[in-house]
Structure 1
Amino acid sequence: MSERTRRIVAWAGLSLDGYTSGPNGPAHDTWLHEQAMREEILAYFEGVWRGADTALTGRTNYEGFHSVWPGITRDPATDPRTRDLGRWLDSVEKVVVSRTLEHAPWENSRIARDLEQEVRALKQAEGRDVLVLNSASVIQALLRADLLDELRFFVAPVLLGGGLRLWPDGIAETSWRLTETTTLAHGSAVGLRYSRR
């Protein structure tokens, strides 16, 4: 057993009005992709994922990432920083939480049926941070179970007016401390980091 438990870090991209995805779903979230491909923001993202050696995600995000990232990683035109992220996504341990998924074909992937049990085991295992990759339902469930240690957000300067809200009504009451603020992409976006009080 490790001398200290691993941190569970939630990572999400947000609109100003608190949505992780717009009204038409992830396939139409150009607002997020336009911001995420800027060099300064890619450098910030790198600082988030480099500290983790396990990625935790829900089924929808897992399937979405798997449908695009292997192709991006292998495309000769992909810039080196983006390719590094793709290689990390290929090689990192990926735990996909789903009650319905039967196969997790992406290399180094496995399926977990019981989120809380899985996360408690991950916290006690050897390793670095566990990064929850932009999965609102997983983040919400971990907040309710009091299993998140850190929140990291990339806030894009857009109002979506609907879609998938990260913080629905009735979310668990918890207290957090702002530990880092980063202004990104010439002032058009902000990175926020919170830790548990």
Structure 2
Amino acid sequence: MKITQAEFVISAAKRDQLPKDALPEIALAGRSNVGKSSLINRMINRRNLARTSSVPGKTQTLNYYRINEAFYFVDLPGYGYAKVSKAQRVQWGKLIEGYLLGREYLKLVLHVVDLRHPPTADDRMMADWLKHFDIPTAVVATKADKISKGRVPSHLKRIRQDLELASDTMLIPFSAETGQGREELWEYIQQSLMPGPQD
């Protein structure tokens, strides 16, 4: 996809703050510090549109990025960061759940995991939750440049097994450093944005 326009629009902490222009939305869900912001920046070939942080748990809102005036990337708060208070985690959980279940413009969730490590309990819980509610999902395994190419297939197999992914669930190894997986992911996103029978 050729990116002609990309802009940060809003950090929404409440449902009534979400954009009302009815553009389709691609949401990114993943644990804190898994590289969601870096993924967005690589996808649009911009270095700093989505702010990356070395401090896990920094994203506490739904961050909207409008792409080509055609759709949004929506960066959800990262899950699984222990230093966040229990009350804060509950609040984030309600925000994320309310968005994923109630947002009519949501077309696809990119479930972002770390290719280097087995999925965490929180990763497995998110995967189970997305499957239970039949939410269209692709799994993106980031930091693919951090392990040798020969080890990638076994790591992907472990992720598919641990998350109990259906054979037709897209699983893409991705690197924000090298751009590996970018074209494949764009192709899948574009298919997801195409009008379906329900639109």
TM more than 0.5: no
Choose between structure 1 and 2: higher strand proportion: 1
Please tell me the TM-score bracket, short chain as reference: 0.3 to 0.5
TM-score w.r.t. the length of structure 2 is 0.36
For normalisation by structure 1, the TM-score amounts to 0.36
